[in-house]
Structure 1
């Protein structure tokens, strides 16, 4: 009550009754004023009658009422106050509240030109990166006791990196919602800042697609995956029928946008969000206030809407078979934010994944049942930490493949232009041949598209012409060569493209959502020449400027 105060308009007796019922200890101050107060003595009597431990501190000389003389009190006058406080803190069973002084230190890592806030805590034998949901706040997270308890317990199993994604919490605000590709860079940035080469990636909710993309793209840096309350697609698909269509989601966001600024950060909306994300805590006033505060501290109403709109195109279904690290998928039976069918879908399509259905309705791991969750997690982490170098067992990775086809171009002309662009956009030059073909791999589609735009430019180079095709998928790489179906698909796209044109597949568009790059449909006559290419699109070159 002292921490959160009784809100304006609340009924005092109800608030006091609630606080007394939730307490394990009742601390009373013996003074002439308190022993003269009927209300104070009623609260002390209630504590004794209901099995609460009544702790009395005598702060000023007074006559102790007869019914309390059998309760040993602590002398706490001005000369003994510090000593008395020490005795109170040392009482058996008393758990000190989490305070700012005991929070992990917040530091910053650099991801491109963005500063990412992170904390590191725990003493466990394995490294872990906690990937949060839509928005978070490193320091506010610890202010709800159930979360602090959850994380302290998690810290006994691992050394945990907790961070706020760009645009949320204590990290730098950005001008627009960041695509998955850039948010994936934030994971690498905090790992590098902590000197962590490989870690267990723990993804929660909206952090699940991001964690899957990271594990598929960087298996050499992913010890294993733990996913909780996640999903594979924001919109309904033929094989993913449990969620609304994209049009229905857009309509819902449009409706929400009209009044969100009026209710953002209020206790009313905090209670609504608790009812969805942590229903077991929806009647807990402290949790409701914490949720309301998280909204204000984690993101603005506009930032939340922008991120939700950008996330509409998140669809990692095709990436699931490319994840080749040990994976544990948790989902609660009655999850109201993401249906349990969505968790099963992910687990069914990630090779070798283990699916664990937990009882309850809570979407977040720190609310609801804890014992089974930690028991299963501990066993999984112990199996993962067996000394095996998973990266050496993997012969494939997820990559965005660019194939540039050239006609009438000299080797050195194409190579010079490609080397400059590859360095700029972090590409890996895989092979080239007689000035006619260039294959380059990237860890994200937006960089791959901008590379292709830089190389192709206006479609000409000296006396020749250039065109490009791009696809995302699982490839096998070795030094200077790369093979796999994505190379064949990208090559097929480049073959039918016009000079200067960049053709891509639908999955490239989906993963590049939020990058500002625009795409247009390919003419039907061209689609007919590519029957095996999934949803071909042409890049709007003007959007690359």
Structure 2
């Protein structure tokens, strides 16, 4: 393998080859008897030759390697398939394995007959909101101390994210699997590396039959990420699984649905299923055409929002209660976004990036959201849900399902200056909306915006 790293693999069953892209939480020997893992190989190998391998730095593969990069992981899959003399195979990317599977399929469409993805996302945590990045950095610190150990804070956070409905036996098994899979140091490095993966542009290049599976209540990877992927891969099918667990076990109805659908998908010549096409088409229709978010003069109004001190809230409320608060927050934002005719560019865990063709509608949406949150907070005895917002208008590049450019960066920097419960706008945005007469702005504030030279003027909106 690249760099001389030893990669261990195993085969199960007979038939056409199905290669499963590895991830950080696996161990070929341990998984054979694990109640949270073995059903994957037992069920899928009934009709196919399943080929599994341990990711570099994990399981039976070499732990002592200096290169735990995403590129090295893709190279390992390329080398393994080549060494085994496989001309063409089906490829499954589950959980973290989605990224390597997608990259391989994009590079080698002639070698992939079918691509199945479960619990996948299009980009890592490093591209999400500042507060969400801080939360991941905190979790990385817990990983170093709690991986494979009876560390209550870490194990509780891990279970709530990946297997919230786990039994006591399953919780214990997952802790032992952590210990067997890799070292705390490697686990921390791998999480950090995969946080930087961004395959949004790659998804449109996939030219093989693809089926995307996602659980509606997945805490580890939000449901809308599965929808995003299905909408970006040309012709992809989508299967909605009912459930809350990212790690599926054999006793869940969602598991039976996945097995049935994936068997049908892998045995079809083209991979197409009319039912899947209908679902994928519906998902695609739900994805915004961002050209509609651009005004006739070519400008777009960008609104960034995030929850103030979301990391501290999580520590005070606990992961389970915080998830409930996040869902309520998301529902409020999306309700008023739909009413204002805006577009959701992306959800970032504890915040949003929204786009509008009208500066006035953007402000109306922001005020409506803050008003709804204020009403919610009045009913709370202790913890307040305070959201900070920043708005700016300017020209932006639209590519795939995202906006890019200096004006997007400026909008994000303005949001970073806001406090919880505050709407802060740029001077240009104020100039565009000041003539309306019914909008009251507070006093000018001159601030330094990270990455931008000099002082910049921002204005709070007096929305209460």
TM-score normalised by structure 1 residue count? 0.46
The higher-RCO structure (CA 8 Å, 6+ apart) is 2
2:217 maps to which residue?
A: 334
Q: Does the CA-based 8 Å contact 2:36-2:248 persist in structure 1? A: no
1:308 maps to which residue?
A: 191
The within-5 A match list for 1:429-448 is none
- 1:231 equivalenced with 2:121 (yes/no): yes
CA distance in 2, matches of 1:342, 1:316: 12
1:220 maps to which residue?
A: 110
Work out which of the two has the higher radius of gyration on C-alpha atoms and give 1 or 2. 1
Counting helix residues as a fraction of each chain, which structure ranks higher?
Answer: 2
Name which of 44, 63, 68 aligns with 1:154.
44
Superposed displacement of residue 186, structure 1: 1.2
CA distance in 2, matches of 1:147, 1:296: 15
**Matched positions, count:** 269
CA distance in 1, matches of 2:46, 2:156: 31
2:458 maps to which residue?
A: none
CA distance in 1, matches of 2:100, 2:234: 18
2:97 maps to which residue?
A: 207
Superposed displacement of residue 139, structure 1: 1.2
| Structure 2 unaligned blocks of 5 or more | 272-398, 401-464
Name which of 103, 110, 113 aligns with 2:4.
113
Q: Does the CA-based 8 Å contact 2:58-2:181 persist in structure 1? A: yes
Name which of 317, 336, 342 aligns with 2:200.
317
| Structure 1 unaligned blocks of 5 or more | 1-109, 238-243, 387-505, 508-545
1:429 maps to which residue?
A: none
For each residue in 1:420-439, what CA deviation from the matched residue of structure 2 results, as whole angstroms up to 9, or x when unmatched?
xxxxxxxxxxxxxxxxxxxx
CA distance in 1, matches of 2:139, 2:257: 37
Change (3 A) 1:349 1:115: same
Superposed displacement of residue 373, structure 1: 1.2
2:236 maps to which residue?
A: 353
Q: Does the CA-based 8 Å contact 2:218-2:243 persist in structure 1? A: yes
Change (3 A) 1:135 1:215: same
Superposed displacement of residue 173, structure 1: 2.1
TM-score normalised by structure 2 residue count? 0.54
Superposed displacement of residue 377, structure 1: 0.8
1:398 maps to which residue?
A: none
Q: Does the CA-based 8 Å contact 1:165-1:171 persist in structure 2? A: yes
The 3-state SS of whatever aligns with 1:322 is coil
Change (3 A) 1:291 1:316: same
Q: Does the CA-based 8 Å contact 1:232-1:346 persist in structure 2? A: yes
1:372 maps to which residue?
A: 257
For each residue in 1:412-456, what CA deviation from the matched residue of structure 2 results, as whole angstroms up to 9, or x when unmatched?
xxxxxxxxxxxxxxxxxxxxxxxxxxxxxxxxxxxxxxxxxxxxx
Superposed displacement of residue 126, structure 1: 1.8
1:425 maps to which residue?
A: none
Q: Does the CA-based 8 Å contact 2:203-2:232 persist in structure 1? A: yes
1:383 maps to which residue?
A: 268
Name which of 81, 85, 88 aligns with 1:195.
85
Q: Does the CA-based 8 Å contact 1:144-1:286 persist in structure 2? A: no
Change (3 A) 1:195 1:270: farther
Q: Does the CA-based 8 Å contact 1:143-1:290 persist in structure 2? A: no
CA distance in 2, matches of 1:214, 1:353: 17
Superposed displacement of residue 279, structure 1: 2.5
2:13 maps to which residue?
A: 122
- 1:145 equivalenced with 2:35 (yes/no): yes
Change (3 A) 1:185 1:349: same
CA distance in 2, matches of 1:201, 1:358: 20
CA distance in 1, matches of 2:191, 2:177: 17
The 3-state SS of whatever aligns with 2:101 is helix
Change (3 A) 1:251 1:385: same
1:416 maps to which residue?
A: none
1:183 maps to which residue?
A: 73
Q: Does the CA-based 8 Å contact 2:217-2:242 persist in structure 1? A: yes
